[in-house]
Amino acid sequence: MRSFFLVAPREEAFAAALASGADAIVLDLCDSREASRSGAAALIRRPRPPGLRLYARIAALDSAAIDADLASVVGAGADGIFLPQACGGASVQHVSAKLAVQEAECGRADGATRIVALATQTPAAIFALSSYAGASARLEALAFDVEPLRRALGVEPHSVAANDPASPFSVARALLLLGAAAAGVAAIDAPFAAIGDAEGLVAQCRAARRDGFGAKLALDAAQIPAINQTFGKAPPAL
Q: Taking the domains of the chain in order of start, what are their residue ranges?
A: 3-231
Backbone angles phi, psi at 55, to 5 degrees: -125, 165
Cα three-residue angle 126-130-132, rounded to 5 degrees: 105
Q: Distance between CA 111 and CA 99 in Å, rounded?
A: 8
Mean pLDDT of 128-134: 97
pTM beyond 0.85: the answer is yes
The CATH number that domain 3-231 falls under is 3.20.20.60
Residue 233 predicted with pLDDT over 90: no
Q: pLDDT higher for 23 or 163? A: 23
In tens, the pLDDT along 55-103 reads 999 999 999 999 999 999 999 999 999 999 999 999 999 999 999 999 9
Q: Which of 111, 119, 116 is nearest to 24 (CA)?
A: 116
